[in-house]
Amino acid sequence: MQRTETPKSLFMLFGATGDLAKRKLFPSLYNLYRKGKLSERFAVIGTARRGWTDEVFRNHVKDSVLSANKHAERIEEFASHFYYQPHDVTDSDSYIQLKQLADELDGKYQLEGNRIFYLAMAPEYFGTISDHLKSDGLTDTKGFKRLVIEKPFGHNLETAKALNNQIRKSFSESQIYRIDHYLGKAMVQNIEVIRFANALFEPLWNNRYISNIQITSSEMLGVEERARYYETSGALRDMVQNHMLQMVALLAMEPPISLTTNEIRSEKVRVLRALRTIEGEDVPEYFVRGQYGPGKINGKKVPGYREELNVAPDSNTETYVAGKLMIDNFRWAGVPFYIRTGKRMAAKSTKIVVQFKDIPMNLYYNTNHDLHPNLLVIHIQPEEGITLHLNAKKPGQHMETTPVQLSFANSSKNGINTPEAYEKLIHDCLLGDATNFTHWDEVALSWSFVDKISQVWENKAISFPNYEAGTMGPKSADELLEKDGFFWWPVEDLEVCNC
Ligand SMILES: NC(=O)C1=CN([C@@H]2O[C@H](COP(=O)(O)OP(=O)(O)OC[C@H]3O[C@@H](n4cnc5c(N)ncnc54)[C@H](OP(=O)(O)O)[C@@H]3O)[C@@H](O)[C@H]2O)C=CC1
Ligand SMILES: O=C1O[C@H](COP(=O)(O)O)[C@@H](O)[C@H](O)[C@H]1O
């Protein structure tokens, strides 16, 4: 893999007038430009159906950057690299014009035929675009060709396979970059470092010392404008199949023999292969679902899911999932990995809590003060950092214990750091580093795990709504842990100390 700090490339962005491009991709490209990680030798062709000109497109790009960063410098220079070509991806003829413009810009910016095709549009078009890129000669250059694909990658294993087979006709696996933006988050990338760079943790990272691991990714937002998509997806497909299972894989994988893309991926794949299959009658034992009803967020009344625009009044779509995953291998036998994710919850928070087993004997039990279990908390967002919860002696004469915390707070520039995640991933793609993108094997295994749960849920409606907006989900999610003798560590009480 060639690594240069400022690789040159043409970006061809499909869906350039859309929401993702505006909110995430243009600000990310700008940040790379501002930091000198994108050389002057780059150009972007934006395409979509509406009949914009280069000028309209450049103004749109500038607005997008300025709404993320009011004081953006060199914005005119940045925007001058952007070109617009009206194009309907279903119209075979218009790929010819796209190719002409691409070849022209290739010469003008001396891009050496390097091309990144970014598909930021509805997934039903992914296969068609990929076919045309090859058949109409857009991939026919001497430089690198990379295809960046947004989520969702299929709706289930069968559709994901069909899509994969179709794009593989035009791109090899090593040229395909499937985005999972959680893999671009700083603290998700930090999981490996915390585990494999600390003598303190690695020896304890197994079923002898860890009692359970909890991963929460809660949102306060509802479905916003995405109900059409979400109605066909639900939280299981939208969040668990990708982001949640990727975090589980990073937490549970064996140390790779080196930090190469292939070694890391193959360890993650082994975790997904070891996931206990949950199917049929076992599903309710391991997984619970919820849908929000009306409630309050930040003191303001919000409607229930079924009252949202483009949602069926009797929708059976889950907006919340909690589950218990078991990894049936030597390291993790007997250790539950609990996951929960949902919309319209009490907090916007993504956290991992690693709960260590109690020590064999509590010498301090006579003091009526229970020892708190040791916890390692990885704060992914909005705050970024690590907290280690320990017990120490309370100041004073008596031998009493008190919980104390060792905290490290990463300063997060963006608060909720999705734009930064995209920035990292786009830069990785430019460098040809696919480590933080999902390999087909991971996608296939994740779908095969999730499909068995959704098959059961699709055939059996339950009484929805079952949690109030602004709460931490349905009661059944608490019961899932209570029956194992655990409880969800409240994310609100685990804030990282900013000291
Ligand atoms: N928005 C987000 O926060 C996230 C989005 N994603 C994924 O990113 C992708 C894009 O999402 P998003 O930006 O929200 O979608 P939008 O609906 O906002 O944008 C869709 C884009 O596709 C263009 N388009 C639609 N049909 C055609 C066509 N036939 N030919 C050419 N262009 C067409 C539209 O422009 P026009 O109407 O001018 O043709 C528009 O630019 C999806 O796969 C989504 O799942 C993933 C994570 C988060
Ligand atoms: O992929 C998705 O993620 C977002 C949550 O991302 P975050 O970075 O804000 O945690 C979620 O809202 C969306 O439904 C889903 O498609």
Report the phi/psi class of residue 396: left, alpha or beta, with left for phi > 0 and alpha for psi in -120 to 50: left
Query: Are both 197 and 285 inside the same structural domain?
Result: yes
**At residue 28, what are phi and psi to the nearest 5 degrees?**
-70, -45
20 lines ligand 1 (CB under 6 A): yes
Predicted model pTM: 0.95
What is the domain-level CATH number for residue 279?
Answer: 3.30.360.10
Token pair, residue 377, equals: 């908390």
Same-domain pairing of 137 and 278:
no
d(CA 6, CA 33): 9
Q: How far apart are CA 310 and CA 287, in angstroms?
A: 27
Residue indicated by tokens 């350039």: 16
From 13, 26, 28, 49, give the residue whose CB has the most ligand 1 atoms within 8 Å, as the site to mutate. 49
Report the separation in Å between the CA atom of 30 and the middle of ligand 1, taken as the mean of its atom positions: 20
The annotation status of 17 as a binding-site residue, yes or no, is yes
Distance from Cα 121 to the centre of ligand 1, integer Å: 3
Look at residue 361 and tell me whether its pLDDT is greater than 80. no
Give the model's pLDDT for residue 412: 52
Question: Is residue 116 assigned to a domain?
Answer: yes
| Cis amide leading into 382 (omega within 30) | yes
Average pLDDT across the chain, whole number = 93
Query: Does residue 316 lie within any of the structural domains?
Result: yes
75 and 201 housed in the same domain = no
The ligand that comes nearest to the alpha carbon of residue 179 is: 1
Co-location of 331 and 187 in the same domain: yes
Q: Which amino acid is at 139?
A: T
Answer whether residue 413 shows pLDDT above 70: no
49 touches ligand 1 (CB under 6 Å): yes
Instruction: Say what percent of the chain tops pLDDT 90.
Output: 86
Ligand 2 centre to CA of 416 (Å) is 11
Dihedral, CA atoms, 166, 172, 175, 177, nearest 10 degrees? 50
Q: Confirm whether residue 343 is marked as ligand binding.
A: yes
Six-digit token string for 99: 């190719």
For the cut 90, the answer to whether the pLDDT of residue 306 exceeds it is yes
Q: Is there an atom of ligand 1 within 6 Å of 17 CB?
A: yes
Specify whether 83 is located in the same domain as 193: no
Range of the domain at 208: 183-417+439-483
Domain match, 283 and 390 both: yes
Q: Considering Cα of 301, then 302, then 306, then 310, what sign does the dihedral take?
A: positive
b/e map 26-45, b = 16+ CB within 10 Å: bbbbbbbbbeebbbebbbbb
Q: Is the residue at 176 inside a domain?
A: no
pLDDT at 159: 97
Q: Based on the fold, state whether residues 53 and 202 are members of the same structural domain.
A: no
Instruction: Please write the tens of the pLDDT for every residue from 314-342.
Output: 999 999 999 999 999 999 999 999 999 99
Domain holding 110: CATH number?
3.40.50.720
Please state, in angstroms and as integers, the Cα–Cα distance from residue 488 to each residue in 96, 134, 242, 341, 472, following that order.
Answer: 56, 50, 22, 12, 10
Helix (H, G, I), strand (E, B) or coil at 421: helix
Query: Is residue 343 located within the same domain as residue 392?
Result: yes
| Cα atoms in the Cβ-side hemisphere of radius 13 Å centred on 269 | 15
| Ligand 2 atom closest to residue 381's alpha carbon, by position in its atom list | 10
Considering only CA atoms, which residue is closest to atom 22 of ligand 1? 15
Among 19, 22, 242, the mutation site with the greatest number of ligand 1 atoms within 8 A of its Cβ is 19
Classify residue 490: in a domain, yes or no.
no
Is residue 370 scored above 90 in pLDDT?
no
* Residues facing residue 399 across a β-bridge: none
Minimum mean pLDDT among 173-187, 228-242, 347-361, 483-497: which range? Answer: 483-497
Q: Which atom of ligand 1 sits closest to the CA of residue 152?
A: 45
Determine which residue's CA is closest to atom 16 belonging to ligand 1.
Answer: 18
Secondary structure letter of residue 218 according to DSSP: E
Residues with CB under 6 A from ligand 2: 151, 217, 219, 238-239, 350, 416, 418
Average pLDDT over residues 387-392: 93
Percent of the chain with pLDDT over 70: 94
Whether the CB-CB separation of 292 and 320 falls below 8 Å is answered with: yes
CB 340 within 8 A of CB 321: yes
Cβ of residue 123 lying under 6 Å from some atom of ligand 1:
yes
Same domain, 25 and 117: yes
Mean local confidence (pLDDT), 142-166: 97
Question: Is there a single domain that holds both residue 103 and residue 215?
Answer: no
Decide if 105 contacts 45 (C-beta within 8 A). yes
Q: pLDDT class for 367, splitting at 50, 70, 90? A: low
Residue 277 CA to residue 271 CA, distance in Å, equals 12
Task: Let me know whether 349 and 477 are in one domain.
Answer: yes
**pLDDT in the model for residue 499:** 43
Helix/strand/coil for 281 = helix
Reported as type and span, the H/E element at residue 323 is strand 320-326
State the pLDDT at residue 1: 42
Catalytic residues: 243
Domains: count for the chain: 2
Q: Are residues 229 and 374 in the same domain?
A: yes
Is residue 434 in a domain? Answer: no
